[in-house]
Chain A
Amino acid sequence: MSLSINNVTKRYRIRARKSVVNALNGITLSVEKGRTLGIVGESGCGKSTLARLIVGLEPPTEGSLLWSGSPLGQGVKNTFRSRHSKTQLVFQDPYSSLNPRQTIGACIAEVLKTHKLRGDAEISARVIELLAVVGIAADMQTRFPHQLSGGQRQRVAIARALAAEPELLVLDEPVSALDVSVRADVMNLLVDLKNKFNLTYIFISHDLSMVRHISDEIAVMYLGRIVEYGTWDEVLNNPKHPYTKALIESIPEHTNVRGIDFENVLEGEVPDPANLPQGCAFHQRCPLAVESCKLKVPELLNATKSHLVACPEVLK
């Protein structure tokens, strides 16, 4: 039982500009059941696109996504229901991801009815049970989303995802829209749920300090490619790729205020994904770039057995 993503690309055609946006450019990843993969990267690097592909909201342009051997994101019509019940997504913004005209009870019940997970008589009991799992009182089920706080809404969104009895949960920045004070609560809830239901997580964030708390493995993305992959310890404490180094240095810290000494501050902008540079997508901003970086897209190479880096220069 595992998720395997094989050389997946996703391109969006933009008709008005007559151009093609390369959101994902050959992603290969695998996640073992019961593990948590953290995916980090800045805005626009393709994290959320990957999330949507994993839950089958969109098909990949090329490549395949398999969950325990069966494909995701293909044959949309036939296996629509069963497919979605195995992989579920929790969205970033709990303010906009819940239907404002639907009570939270109805929102969760809709999942049960769609997938026919419970008989009609058992639905309301199951809704109360799911709300209890995420720490929401049963009498809240008649409330509308606007009557709830951000943290409560995200709990509802999590309950809604759990209602489908998924094996894999994709968490697309689940806490970044929340107040700092409730982030820890929701993070702890996620950890508890994972152990309780034996879930596999894909935790997407631009915030490395959140990823650190929950991930077993971490993948760093830049412009639709994975540039570094390894256990959280390897990636965060021994980063190899210059982009990862810059990303880690950008984490604000409340200690060591005086000794600010950024070695790897990035300059320039992220290139346009509709017009990718030749060779390594990072070479224009990379302090280590040499002539050969402009010619060939670097492959992921082993730094150690479990630590992969897409930069031949740092491995020399």
Chain B
Amino acid sequence: MGFLKRLASVLTTLFGISVFVFVVLRVIPGDTITSSLGIETGVLTPEQIDTLRAYYGIDKPLVGQYLSWMASFLSGDLGFSYSTGAPVWDLTKSALLVTMQLALFGTILGVLIGISIGMFSARKPGSARDFLGQFFGLLALAIPGFVLSTTIVTVMANKFQYFPNGYEYMTPFEDLSMNLQQMLFPSLVLGIAVAAPIMRTTRSALLETVDKDFVRTAYGKGVKPRIVRLRHVLRNSLIPIVTMTGIQFGYLLGGAVIVEKIFALPGMGRQILDAINKREYATVQSSIMVFAILFVTINLITDWVYRKVDPRIK
């Protein structure tokens, strides 16, 4: 029952997103014709424009356009890109891989950094080490990704002559070592951004748990303090940390546009941005839908992780 309810709300959300994206794309000025021809559009006769509109399928009523796009999307046909002629699914497949890998690495780094510093801080609230940890958290929160990215690019390329992203992008199947090198810096930038909220969540969740009676029980048993902190305190603080990690992972899937651009990674953010500029309706709509489906799936997985972490949630 609970699952069916969840599924219904997920489907409603996806429907809402599809309508929203569809409408917003038509509201922004210009269409496929003006963006591909630019000012030359003015030279075209009304007949020629009508022919082009019919060719692109944007002469039909909006509801009809939406329904025909939705129908082909549901049957697995995501349309094709006008500018390259490639099917959207092929573009999305490779872009998705890049973005997913980036988001995954970024999240893993963020969780490692965030939880470590959170634990470091929470050991003694109000102390110098707490101050240090919180200072890092604020710093990571305050430095924009593009500043950190460009700094890394400049320093690594100029001082150390090391800049793997200068070469053509390699998928992990083509050249794993090159791929990992290319992923290193962008993952780090994203990881640091993600670490800040995770660090803060970890710190406050830990501080709430250390005062619980069962922690004193654990010390009373004679369990080593380090083990108490990991097995009893951290384990019981995981719920908010898992929540925050899920949110951040979703954010990384959608928000890595700038980092993808700076480090020349052909990911989803870049693909959608380029498609919007070219008013490639099918590319934008279908990519975003794939994205949205991914996003809600991750939310469902987060829910499932809750259940693993907390045996009381049924």
Q: Is B135 an interface residue (CB 8 A)?
A: no
Report yes or no: B311 in contact with A97, Cβ–Cβ below 8 A.
Answer: no
The stretch that binds A, out of B62-70, B215-223, B244-252, is B215-223
* Residues of chain B at the chain A interface (Cβ within 8 Å): 126, 212-214, 216-224, 227, 231-232, 235-236, 309-312
The stretch that binds B, out of A61-69, A88-96, A201-209, is A88-96
Per-residue CB proximity of A61-105 to B under 8 Å, as 1/0? 000000000000000000011011100110101001111111000
Given contacts A99-B232, A99-B236, contact A80 B222 (CB under 8 A): yes
Partner of A84, one of B213, B221, B236, B311: B221
Q: Mind listing 9 A-B residue pairs with CB under 8 Å?
A: A55-B220, A57-B219, A80-B224, A96-B214, A99-B232, A100-B214, A100-B312, A101-B235, A114-B224
Report yes or no: A164 in contact with B222, Cβ–Cβ below 8 A.
Answer: yes
Report yes or no: B222 in contact with A91, Cβ–Cβ below 8 A.
Answer: no
Q: Is A146 an interface residue (CB 8 A)?
A: yes
B118 → chain A, closest Cβ, in Å?
19
A73 → chain B, closest Cβ, in Å?
13
Q: Is A129 an interface residue (CB 8 A)?
A: no
In whole angstroms, what is the CA distance A33 to B195 when docked? Answer: 54
Q: Is A11 an interface residue (CB 8 A)?
A: no
**Chain B residues with CB under 8 A of A89:** 220
Which bracket fits the contact residues of A?
20 to 34
Quick one: closest A residue to B222, CB to CB? A84
Q: Is A5 an interface residue (CB 8 A)?
A: no
Report yes or no: B222 in contact with A114, Cβ–Cβ below 8 A.
Answer: yes
Quick one: closest B residue to A143, CB to CB? B311
In whole angstroms, what is the CA distance A88 to B222 when docked? Answer: 9
Partner of B222, one of A52, A85, A97, A144: A85
Partner of A97, one of B216, B227, B312: B216
Report yes or no: B311 in contact with A101, Cβ–Cβ below 8 A.
Answer: yes
* Residues of chain A at the chain B interface (Cβ within 8 Å): 15, 52, 55, 57, 80-81, 83-85, 88-89, 91, 93, 96-102, 110-111, 114-115, 144, 146, 157, 160, 164
Quick one: closest A residue to B310, CB to CB? A101
**Chain B residues with CB under 8 A of A80:** 222, 224
Report yes or no: B216 in contact with A91, Cβ–Cβ below 8 A.
Answer: yes
Partner of B217, one of A81, A83, A91, A101: A91
Report yes or no: A57 in contact with B312, Cβ–Cβ below 8 A.
Answer: no
Partner of B220, one of A57, A99, A100, A102: A57
Report yes or no: A84 in contact with B220, Cβ–Cβ below 8 A.
Answer: yes
**Chain B residues with CB under 8 A of A96:** 212-214
Given contacts A144-B311, A144-B312, A146-B312, contact A98 B217 (CB under 8 A): yes
**Chain A residues with CB under 8 A of B217:** 91, 97-99, 157, 160
**Chain A residues with CB under 8 A of B213:** 91, 93, 96-97
**Chain A residues with CB under 8 A of B218:** 99, 110
In whole angstroms, what is the CA distance A88 to B227 when docked? Answer: 19
Partner of B236, one of A57, A100, A164: A100
B158 → chain A, closest Cβ, in Å?
48
In whole angstroms, what is the CA distance A144 to B231 when docked? Answer: 15
A29 → chain B, closest Cβ, in Å?
20
B153 → chain A, closest Cβ, in Å?
44
B188 → chain A, closest Cβ, in Å?
32
Report yes or no: A101 in contact with B220, Cβ–Cβ below 8 A.
Answer: no
Residue from B216, B220, B223 having most chain A Cβ neighbours under 10 A = B220
Given contacts A93-B213, A96-B213, A100-B214, contact A111 B224 (CB under 8 A): no
A279 → chain B, closest Cβ, in Å?
35
In whole angstroms, what is the CA distance A191 to B223 when docked? Answer: 28
**Chain A residues with CB under 8 A of B216:** 52, 57, 91, 97
